[in-house]
Amino acid sequence: MSQIETVILKPDTNGIAEAALVFWRGGLVAFPTETVYGLGADARNDVAVAKIYAAKGRPSFNPLIVHLADVAAVHNYCEMSDVAQRLAAAFWPGAMTLVLPLLQDAGISKLVTAGLDTLAVRVPDHVVAQNLLAEFGGPVAAPSANPSGRISPTTAAHVIAGLSGKIDAIVDGGTCGVGVESTIVDCSGPVPCILRAGGIPTEALEACLGMALATPSDPTTPTSPGQLLSHYAPQGSVRLNARHFDAHETGLGFGAVDAQLNLSPSGDLVEAAANLFAMLHRLDAMGATAIAVSPIPDHGLGRAINDRLKRAAAPRD
């Protein structure tokens, strides 16, 4: 792929207008959401969407999430069951993606859905993403703005490190608050189920619906087409549930432990989620070859953190 100049845009009126123009011209813009930075393109434009796959080096069977400004816009593209509407009312805008039946003739590129008859959609809760979606006025396909298989970006600097020269622009909106990707709920079948743990805890979804939801238990069985086992991989090896750190290891702690980096010294899972990807990026920058991670409680945002850490620790090709 030939290199292009990547423009860094401010998150102000001019920057947002420039970013929307890039979408209209079929280009790629990375932008902040409350979860992680997304790499966006016009979801109706085949060539633009193909550029996302090329820039990320992403396998083409992996469908993308479409970002929309509000629930009203979602109705233009998808069928929404009662359950979907309840979840949307409770958690959008926010860190939840719904997989919904795609309407015929919705105009979404087949490269976005990878040929599926469902569409993953999300209304992000971030002022820059909201302003950009409003200015553009169309559906924006956006996976996380990292090379495929690598750590997701929570700052503009992470995006530039991974994709500079491959994308047209990035809107620098600072650090993402949530820090892990959205929770994906499949609402296309008779029973809703969770395809990916993420920024909205499972417990909150269950409380909203008044029912237990099936969750991904074993990372070796991909439930979502893009849930590859080895993912989020830092350069070094990763050892999980470490109750002590060996001399050759770089410790990534949680709670009151003595470690080079600590996701949350006070044991706060929300803080740990927000720090997770930035600290994995830092471990790369430090040249850590053997990373050992403290045990993380498996509830609330801990589930999303453990899901990402298992994939970071998985055997690689």
Binding site for ligand TXA (CB under 6 A): 33, 35-36, 38, 62-65, 97, 99, 113, 116, 118-120, 122, 142-144, 181-182, 184, 195, 224-227
Q: Which is nearer to ligand TXA, 22 or 261 (CB)?
A: 22
Least Cβ distance, residue 159 to Mg ion (angstroms): 12
In this structure, the strands spanning 183-186 and 96-101 are: parallel
Q: How wide is the angle at C-alpha 18 spanned by C-alphas 13 and 19, nearest 5°?
A: 100
Least Cβ distance, residue 196 to ligand TXA (angstroms): 6
Asked if 162 contacts 147 with a C-beta cutoff of 8 angstroms, the reply is yes
Instruction: Report the partner that residue 309 touches, choosing among Mg ion, ligand TXA, none (CB closer than 5 to 8 A by kind).
Output: none
Q: Which is nearer to ligand TXA, 199 or 251 (CB)?
A: 199
Q: Which residue is nearest to ligand TXA (CB)?
A: 226
Ramachandran bin of 68, using left for φ above 0, alpha for ψ from -120 to 50, beta for the remaining angles: beta
Q: Which is nearer to ligand TXA, 177 or 267 (CB)?
A: 177
Least Cβ distance, residue 62 to ligand TXA (angstroms): 5
Q: Which is nearer to ligand TXA, 64 or 74 (CB)?
A: 64
Least Cβ distance, residue 119 to Mg ion (angstroms): 17
The backbone torsions φ and ψ at residue 43, rounded to the nearest 5 degrees and listed phi first, read -70, -10
What H or E segment, with its residue span, contains residue 309? Answer: helix 302-313
Q: Which is nearer to ligand TXA, 66 or 259 (CB)?
A: 66
Ramachandran bin of 115, using left for φ above 0, alpha for ψ from -120 to 50, beta for the remaining angles: left
Q: Which is nearer to ligand TXA, 51 or 122 (CB)?
A: 122
| Closest-CA residue to 302 (of 192, 208, 203, 193) | 203
The footprint of Mg ion (CB under 5 A) covers 144
Instruction: Report the partner that residue 225 touches, choosing among Mg ion, ligand TXA, none (CB closer than 5 to 8 A by kind).
Output: ligand TXA
Instruction: Report the partner that residue 116 touches, choosing among Mg ion, ligand TXA, none (CB closer than 5 to 8 A by kind).
Output: ligand TXA
Instruction: Report the partner that residue 122 touches, choosing among ligand TXA, Mg ion, none (CB closer than 5 to 8 A by kind).
Output: ligand TXA
Report the distance separating Cα 111 and Cα 63, nearest Å: 7
Residue 250 neighbours by CB under 8 Å, 6+ apart:
236, 260, 261, 283, 286, 288, 290, 291, 292
Q: Which is nearer to ligand TXA, 53 or 254 (CB)?
A: 53
| Closest-CA residue to 254 (of 305, 316, 199) | 305
Asked if 40 contacts 29 with a C-beta cutoff of 8 angstroms, the reply is yes
Report the distance separating Cα 69 and Cα 299, nearest Å: 30
Instruction: Report the partner that residue 235 touches, choosing among ligand TXA, Mg ion, none (CB closer than 5 to 8 A by kind).
Output: none
Instruction: Report the partner that residue 36 touches, choosing among Mg ion, ligand TXA, none (CB closer than 5 to 8 A by kind).
Output: ligand TXA
